């Protein structure tokens, strides 16, 4: 049994959806147990590297409205997995800075661009944009032109 089946069995309860596209595996995990699932993936399955962490807005009226996407990698076995977790407007996700130090800036970027809060982040502030910037630009309802600054 390879690691994929083992991990699937181990995280059975958290796994909502799984898919494969162009040889890449994507799992959608439950939000409530996400931090536990990530700990399992890191400690038991050796995913020692957080390659990328980003936000994804599906658009207004979609459920879930947002995803936070983790690209994890086991640098010994070269295995890779994409983990997604769905969020609604205003929902908070627990920070993974304790697992991978590199998550710090990436979570700040998600907060900056999508307005998603991370609980337990050491200093959650905007990464790129000024503190007083209105809105979160990577949301689908944020306009690219004709933005009225008076509003």
Partner 1 sequence: MSVTTERAERRTVTLNMGPQHPSTHGVLRVVLDLEGETVADAQPVVGYLHRGTEKLAESKAYQQVIPLIDRLDYLACPAYNFAYCLAVEKLLGIEVPPRAQYIRVIMAELARIASHLIWLGSHAMDIGAVTVFLYTFREREITYELLEMAAGVRMHQSYFVVGGVRWDLPEGFIPKLKAFLDILPGKIEEYENLLTKNKIWKLRTVDVGVLSKEDAIAYGATGPMLRGSGLKWDIRKVYPYSGYEQFDFEIPTGEHGDSYDRYLVRMEEMRQSRRIILQALEELPEGPIQALEGKLFFPNPELVRGDEKDMAALIHQFKLVCEGFHAPVGEVYQSIEAPKGELGFYVVGDGGPKPFRLRIRLPSLMNLQTLPVLSRGHKVADMAAIIGTLDIVLGDVDK
Q: Which residues bind partner 1 (CB under 8 A)?
A: 21-22, 24, 26, 48-52, 54, 56-57, 69, 71, 75, 78, 80, 82, 100-102, 104-105, 113, 126-130, 137-138, 142, 144
Nearest to 126 by CA among 142, 137, 148, 111: 111
Closer CB to partner 1, 31 or 104, in the complex: 104
Closer CB to partner 1, 14 or 104, in the complex: 104
Closer CB to partner 1, 24 or 43, in the complex: 24
CB of 99 to partner 1, least distance (A): 9
Q: How far apart are CA 136 and CA 112, in angstroms?
A: 6
Closer CB to partner 1, 34 or 113, in the complex: 113
- Residue pointed to by tokens 């990530």: 38
CB of 58 to partner 1, least distance (A): 9
Each as own residue / partner, the long-range contacts of residues 100-107 (CB below 8 Å, 24 or more positions apart, any chain) are 100/42, 100/49, 100/50, 102/50, 103/50, 103/53, 106/50, 106/52, 106/53, 106/54, 107/53
């Amino acid at each position: 049994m390879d690691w994929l089946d083992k991990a699937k069995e181990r995280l059975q309860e958290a796994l909502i959806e799984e898919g494969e596209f162009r040889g890449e595996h994507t799992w959608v995990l439950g939000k409530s147990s996400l931090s536990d699932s990530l700990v399992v993936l890191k400690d038991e399955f050796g995913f020692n590297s957080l390659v990328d962490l980003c936000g994804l807005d599906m658009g207004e009226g979609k459920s879930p409205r947002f995803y936070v996407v983790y690209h994890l990698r086991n640098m010994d076995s070269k295995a890779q997995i994409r983990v997604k977790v769905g969020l609604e407007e205003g929902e908070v996700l627990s920070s993974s800075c304790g697992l991978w130090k590199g998550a710090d800036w990436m979570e700040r970027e998600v907060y900056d661009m999508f307005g998603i809060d991370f609980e337990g982040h050491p200093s959650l502030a905007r990464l790129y944009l000024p503190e007083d910037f209105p809105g979160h630009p990577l949301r689908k309802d944020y306009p690219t032109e004709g933005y009225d600054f008076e509003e």
